């Protein structure tokens, strides 16, 4: 491969693209209200990339400078044969890829935590918005909290580092702020709060009513704890503080109150081979066609570079003036979070 072919991916705003989020399935065993409709119409399985095709795509990105690979869904661990895919991806660790990880709802961690560690996964993000069983059932529609807590315990026992992701929902889990902080501190888990984004079917879920700005959440934390701002970044959009009194780390992902686009280093690949250059824009590139058109990866690499050349400066999410702007009609599960 010549130097031009192997040169790293740089977008039009001089941002190196080193982080790929890959949705391996649009299916999930939950129906979280901010992510999916209750009665989802899932894609025909024939439209999904095979695990071998996902391997080729991810390997091409690693060859072009991607250093962090996050596997998402839907729920990635419900895809049949997924651990074989993790085993295949682990061959890149130490040979370009620095981190292989996943975001999960935790329901299948009891089955797979040990295998994930064997595949070189060192940490996982678990989406968990409440510690109350009835509220959990309401948010996830189909989920059972004890199953998830058992899965998290299994992951901890297997040696995985755990970060809990909480979508901040006004009127839903705003009364659990300190309970969640305390639980994560006791368990040794990092914790990140995420502002709810205007995506999916807003006819059924009023995102404006649910919107809990994280600057308000942070003010509540500051009334009880001393917050020390941290300079560290983990390759994602979160900004971190440390609670001086407990030592634990809290992250804030704020696509609305504080746009983080200036440092965006990531793109998202769907389970059908569409590459979204921005979560909050509809621009996308079809990588399935060049992938299937040739066994040679050169056309695929060219298609990836052409897509990165169209990466926008940022998204347009906005809840100002008591209305929802920049709304995305696709469900979060389609793009992989």
Predicted local confidence at residue 125, as pLDDT: 97
Cα separation, 164 vs 173, whole angstroms: 14
Residue 133 host element (H or E): helix 133-140
* Nearest partner of 79 among 104, 110, 99, judged by Cα: 104
21 annotated ligand binder: yes
Q: Mean pLDDT highest for which of 19-28, 258-267, 275-284?
A: 19-28
Cα separation, 324 vs 58, whole angstroms: 34
Domain count along the chain: 1
DSSP-based helix, strand, coil % in the chain, nearest 5:
35, 20, 45
Distance, C-alpha 101 to centroid of its chain: 10
Cα separation, 121 vs 260, whole angstroms: 27
264 annotated ligand binder: yes
271 annotated ligand binder: no
pTM: 0.86
Residue 168 has pLDDT above 90, yes or no: yes
Pair 202, 214: CB distance under 8 Å: no
Pair 35, 85: CB distance under 8 Å: no
Among left, alpha and beta (phi > 0; psi -120 to 50; other), residue 218 is: alpha
Half-sphere exposure of 31 (CA within 13 A, CB side): 11
28 annotated ligand binder: yes
In CATH, what number is assigned to the domain containing residue 294? 3.20.20.70
- The single residue listed with the structure tokens 């793109």 is 267
Cα separation, 279 vs 21, whole angstroms: 11
Q: If you ran DSSP here, which 8-state letter would residue 325 be given?
A: B
Pair 195, 253: CB distance under 8 Å: yes
294 annotated ligand binder: no
Burial of 284 (0-12, 13-18, 19+ CB in 10 A): buried
- The single residue listed with the structure tokens 């993790």 is 86
Please, which pLDDT band fits residue 41 given cuts at 50, 70 and 90? confident
Residue 139 host element (H or E): helix 133-140
- Helices 109-118 and 145-158, packing angle to 10 deg: 20
* Nearest partner of 278 among 13, 4, 89, judged by Cα: 13
Distance, C-alpha 3 to centroid of its chain: 32
- Give tens-digit pLDDT for 104-146: 999 999 999 999 999 999 999 999 999 999 999 999 998 999 9
Q: Give the mean model confidence (pLDDT) for residues 295-319.
A: 83
163 annotated ligand binder: yes
Cα separation, 191 vs 276, whole angstroms: 27
Domain that holds residue 130: 3-335
Q: Give the mean model confidence (pLDDT) for residues 202-215.
A: 67
Question: Poorest-confidence range of 27-41, 78-92, 191-205, 293-307?
Answer: 191-205
107 annotated ligand binder: no
Predicted local confidence at residue 36, as pLDDT: 81
184 annotated ligand binder: no
Question: Poorest-confidence range of 11-15, 91-95, 197-201, 243-247?
Answer: 197-201
123 annotated ligand binder: no
The two beta strands, 266-269 and 19-23, are parallel
Please, which pLDDT band fits residue 212 given cuts at 50, 70 and 90? confident
Predicted local confidence at residue 171, as pLDDT: 92
Cα separation, 273 vs 265, whole angstroms: 19
């Amino acid at each position: 491969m010549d130097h031009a072919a192997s040169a790293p991916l740089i977008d039009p705003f001089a941002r190196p693209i080193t982080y790929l989020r890959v949705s391996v399935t649009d299916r999930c065993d939950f129906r979280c209200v901010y992510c999916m409709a209750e009665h989802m119409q899932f894609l025909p399985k024939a439209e999904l990339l095979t695990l071998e095709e996902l391997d080729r795509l991810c390997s091409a990105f690693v060859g072009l400078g991607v250093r962090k690979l996050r596997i998402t869904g839907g729920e990635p661990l419900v895809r049949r044969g997924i651990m074989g895919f993790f085993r295949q991806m682990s061959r890149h660790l130490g040979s370009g890829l620095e981190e292989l990880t996943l975001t999960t709802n935790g329901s299948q961690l009891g089955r797979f935590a040990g295998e994930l560690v064997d595949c070189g996964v060192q940490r996982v993000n678990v989406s968990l918005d409440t510690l109350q069983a009835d509220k959990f059932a309401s948010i996830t529609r189909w989920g059972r909290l004890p199953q998830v807590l058992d899965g998290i315990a299994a992951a901890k026992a297997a040696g995985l580092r755990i970060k809990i992701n909480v979508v901040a929902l006004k009127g839903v889990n705003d009364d659990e702020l300190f309970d969640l902080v305390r639980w994560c501190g006791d368990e040794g888990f990092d914790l990140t709060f995420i502002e709810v984004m205007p995506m999916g079917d807003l006819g059924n879920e009023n995102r404006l009513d649910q919107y809990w700005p994280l600057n308000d959440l942070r003010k509540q934390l500051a009334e009880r704890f001393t917050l020390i701002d941290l300079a560290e970044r983990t390759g994602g959009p979160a900004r971190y503080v440390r609670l001086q009194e407990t030592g634990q780390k809290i992250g804030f992902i704020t696509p609305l109150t504080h746009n983080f686009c200036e440092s965006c280093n990531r793109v998202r690949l769907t389970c059908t081979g569409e590459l979204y250059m921005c979560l909050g824009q509809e621009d996308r590139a079809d990588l399935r066609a060049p992938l299937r058109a040739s066994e040679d990866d050169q056309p695929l690499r060219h298609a990836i570079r052409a897509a990165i050349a169209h990466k926008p400066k940022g998204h347009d999410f906005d809840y100002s003036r008591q209305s929802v702007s920049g709304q995305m009609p696709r469900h979060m599960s389609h793009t992989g979070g």
